[in-house]
C-alpha cells in the first residue's frame, strides 16, 4: 500500500552523511547537528521505510543488506535532484548558476589546451554564470566529480573510473630537466646511469610503478605542485620531469636543459571528465564542444 506522506529529503541527506562518515559522530560537523538530533532523524527514516538501515556498536558502523540497497537508491535520487536544480538554473532567462571546473596546475601556458581562450568563450556565452576554477590533483578531480563537488575536470587520469565519463583531448610532452646549478648541466656526455643516480623530485601521487616506468628506482623529494617541482629542480640538487611548455622559458634563459630526451621523455594523455548522466547539461555541453574544437578531437 502506498504511503500518503512522501519521504522528507532532509532524512536522506542525514542518512547519506552518516554512511559517508561511518557513524553519527563523524557526520555532526557536515550536518551541523548533534548526535541526538541525527539519531532522531535516522529513527524517523527507519520508521518510514519499515526496516533497519544500519548497525552501530562495538564492532563499528555497518549498513544492513537492505540499508546498502536503500543507500544506493538514495544517492541516485539526490543526484537526480541536483541535476534537476542545475537544469532549472540553466533554463532561467539569465542562464545563471555556478559551474565548477578543476584542472591540473601549470596548464595556463599550454597552447594545446589554451584554457584562457576557452574560459573567455564560455564566459561570453554565459556571462551570468559564476565560474569556480580549481587546481586539483588527478585523484582529487575524480573524487570531486563523483561526489558532485565538481562539474567538470581536465587532467591526466591513469585509469578509468565507474560513473565517470572520460574523453581524450591531447598529449602533453614531458622531459627530464636539470638546472644550470646541477653537476650534469655542463657535462659533454651524460650517461643513463649518471642520470638515474641523481636525486629525483616527483609529484606526490606518483607510485613505484610510475617511477620504474620513467627509469628510476626511487625519488628523493616529492611535491604537491608543478611550481614546487620547478623550484627544487632550479635549486640544482634535483632532476625532475616538467611539461615542455612550462619549462620552455627557463630553457631559453639557459637555466634548464633536458637530459637525454631519447631516454627520459614521455607524453601524458590529457582528458576531460564529468559524471555519467550529466552529458546533456548545457554548461557541460558547451565546455565539451569548446575543448573538442580547440584540441581537434572527433566528437563521439
The pLDDT tens digits for 121-172 are 999 988 888 999 999 999 999 999 999 899 999 999 988 888 899 999 999 9
What does the pLDDT look like over 64-114, one tens digit per residue? 999 899 999 998 888 788 777 766 666 654 566 889 999 999 988 888 889
What does the pLDDT look like over 177-207, one tens digit per residue? 999 999 999 998 999 999 999 999 998 888 8
| Between residues 261 and 61, the one the model is more confident about | 261
In this predicted structure, the answer to whether residue 237 has a pLDDT above a threshold of 60 is yes
CATH class in words for 9-90: mainly alpha
Confidence of residue 223 (pLDDT cuts 50, 70, 90): very high
What are the residue ranges of CATH 1.10.10.10 in the chain? 9-90
In this predicted structure, the answer to whether residue 208 has a pLDDT above a threshold of 80 is yes
Per CATH, which fold does 172-268 belong to? D-Maltodextrin-Binding Protein; domain 2 (3.40.190)
Residue with cell 542518512: 15
pLDDT score, position 210: 84
Confidence of residue 257 (pLDDT cuts 50, 70, 90): very high
pLDDT score, position 92: 58
Whole-number mean pLDDT of the chain? 88
What does the pLDDT look like over 13-59, one tens digit per residue? 899 989 988 888 888 888 888 989 999 999 999 999 999 998 887 77
What are the residue ranges of CATH 3.40.190.290 in the chain? 172-268
pLDDT score, position 1: 42
| Between residues 210 and 222, the one the model is more confident about | 222
Superfamily classification of domain 98-170+269-295: Periplasmic binding protein-like II (3.40.190.10)
What are the residue ranges of CATH 3.40.190.10 in the chain? 98-170+269-295
pLDDT score, position 112: 87
pLDDT score, position 196: 93
In this predicted structure, the answer to whether residue 298 has a pLDDT above a threshold of 80 is no
pLDDT score, position 300: 42
Cβ(64)–Cβ(58) under 8 Å?
no
pLDDT score, position 212: 87
Average pLDDT over residues 260-277: 92
Distance CA 243, CA 249 (A): 12
pLDDT score, position 51: 92
Amino acid at each position: 500500500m502506498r504511503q500518503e506522506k512522501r519521504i522528507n529529503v532532509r532524512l536522506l541527506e542525514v542518512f547519506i552523511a552518516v554512511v559517508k562518515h561511518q557513524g553519527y559522530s563523524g557526520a555532526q560537523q557536515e550536518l551541523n547537528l548533534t548526535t541526538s538530533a541525527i539519531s532522531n532523524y535516522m529513527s524517523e527514516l527507519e520508521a518510514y521505510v519499515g526496516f533497519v538501515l544500519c548497525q552501530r556498536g562495538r564492532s563499528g558502523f555497518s549498513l544492513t543488506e537492505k540499508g546498502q540497497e536503500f543507500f544506493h537508491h538514495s544517492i541516485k535520487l539526490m543526484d537526480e535532484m541536483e541535476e534537476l536544480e542545475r537544469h532549472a538554473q540553466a533554463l532561467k532567462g539569465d542562464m545563471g548558476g555556478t559551474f565548477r571546473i578543476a584542472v591540473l596546475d601549470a596548464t595556463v601556458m599550454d597552447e594545446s589546451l589554451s584554457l584562457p581562450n576557452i574560459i573567455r568563450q564560455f564566459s561570453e556565452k554565459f556571462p551570468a554564470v559564476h565560474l569556480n576554477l580549481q587546481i586539483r590533483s588527478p585523484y582529487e578531480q575524480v573524487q570531486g566529480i563523483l561526489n558532485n563537488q565538481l562539474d567538470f575536470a581536465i587532467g591526466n587520469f591513469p585509469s578509468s573510473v565507474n560513473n565517470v565519463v572520460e574523453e581524450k583531448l591531447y598529449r602533453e610532452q614531458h622531459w627530464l630537466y636539470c638546472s644550470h646549478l646541477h653537476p650534469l648541466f655542463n657535462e659533454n656526455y651524460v650517461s643513463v646511469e649518471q642520470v638515474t643516480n641523481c636525486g629525483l623530485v616527483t609529484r606526490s601521487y606518483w607510485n613505484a610503478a610510475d617511477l620504474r616506468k620513467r627509469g628510476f628506482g626511487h625519488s628523493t623529494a616529492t611535491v604537491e605542485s608543478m611550481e614546487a617541482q620547478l623550484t627544487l629542480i632550479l635549486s640544482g640538487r634535483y632532476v625532475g620531469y616538467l611539461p615542455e611548455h612550462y619549462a620552455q622559458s627557463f630553457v631559453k634563459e639557459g637555466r634548464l636543459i633536458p637530459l637525454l630526451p631519447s631516454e627520459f621523455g614521455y607524453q601524458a594523455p590529457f582528458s576531460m571528465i564529468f559524471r555519467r548522466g550529466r552529458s546533456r547539461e548545457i554548461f557541460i555541453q558547451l565546455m565539451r564542444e569548446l575543448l573538442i574544437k580547440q584540441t581537434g578531437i572527433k566528437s563521439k
